[in-house]
Structure 1
Amino acid sequence: MTTLTIDPQAPYPPFEQLRRQLVEQIVSQHLPAGTRLPPVRRLAADLALAPNTVARAYRELEAEGYLVTRGRNGTIVAPDAAPDDDVRRRAADLAATYVAGMRELGLRGEAIVAAVRHAL
């Protein structure tokens, strides 16, 4: 697992920073399917976070299909969490088309990102 960092000055709460970093590592396959994640308490101690903060990030990632929790057997990256190359390529094409259309409307980066966040 690539190093995870929490920035207390970031505009996002710690659980969201952790969630985003884990998604990024799963999607980029730095955390491949089947990889076992550290226990909640250990990761919380490593990141100087409350255990509930890490547990919330894990729960949300499990609800989103990125992780599978097996009780005392730990939490692993879900078998189908990372998209294959074809899906990634199609997603990149869709994103490029969307951004081009938004730019034609005269919107800049932050407005485009805000529109995506609102849609999600």
Structure 2
Amino acid sequence: MKLIIDEHSPTPPFEQLRQQVVDAVRTGTAAPGDKLPTVRRLADELGLAPNTVARAYRELEQGEVIETRGRLGSFIAATGDPTRRQAQRAAAEFAERMRGLGLDAQDALALAAAALGIRP
């Protein structure tokens, strides 16, 4: 995985890093267990302050995209694509809510399709 910073982008460098790692996980470029560079090494490679890289890593860890294993370093987490996990949770909450309202699956799917702009 090649990480780069666009100095002319209005997006802050820590967010550029965070998004690139998320995209790499989503596309399969980065696989669970892949080791990330140390904060210091990546900061040196990209010409960034270590705190900038550390912030990106912290946010990735909070989002369960990466995991830090103490002195061993940071790795792509085995939990998978964070966007897909959030979507699965939202779908489960939707299904639970529809059941609570007494709607059957067909009616719930029709409502979801309409919300997504899909015509049956």
Q: TM-score, normalised by structure 2?
A: 0.68
Q: Deviations over 1:37-96 (max 9, x none)?
A: 01110011111111110010000000001000011110000011237xxx59x88xx8xx
Runs (4+) of structure 1 exceeding 4 A deviation are none
Aligned 8 A contact 1:66 1:81 in 2: yes
- Distance, in Å, in 1 between the alignment partners of 2:17 and 2:80 is 17
Pairing 1:45-60 to 2, within 5 Å after superposition: 45-60=44-59
Letter in 2 for 1:49: L
Q: Which residue of 2 aligns with 1:17?
A: 16
Query: Sequence identity, in percent?
Result: 49
Q: Which residue of 1 aligns with 2:76?
A: 77
Aligned 8 A contact 1:67 1:81 in 2: no
Mark the runs of 5 or more structure 2 residues left unpaired by the alignment: 89-111
Q: Which residue of 2 aligns with 1:30?
A: 29
Pairing 1:85-104 to 2, within 5 Å after superposition: 98=116, 100=117
How far is 1:27 from its partner? 1.1
- Distance, in Å, in 1 between the alignment partners of 2:4 and 2:73 is 22
How far is 1:7 from its partner? 1.0
Matched residue pairs, number?
Answer: 91
Q: Which has the larger radius of gyration?
A: 2
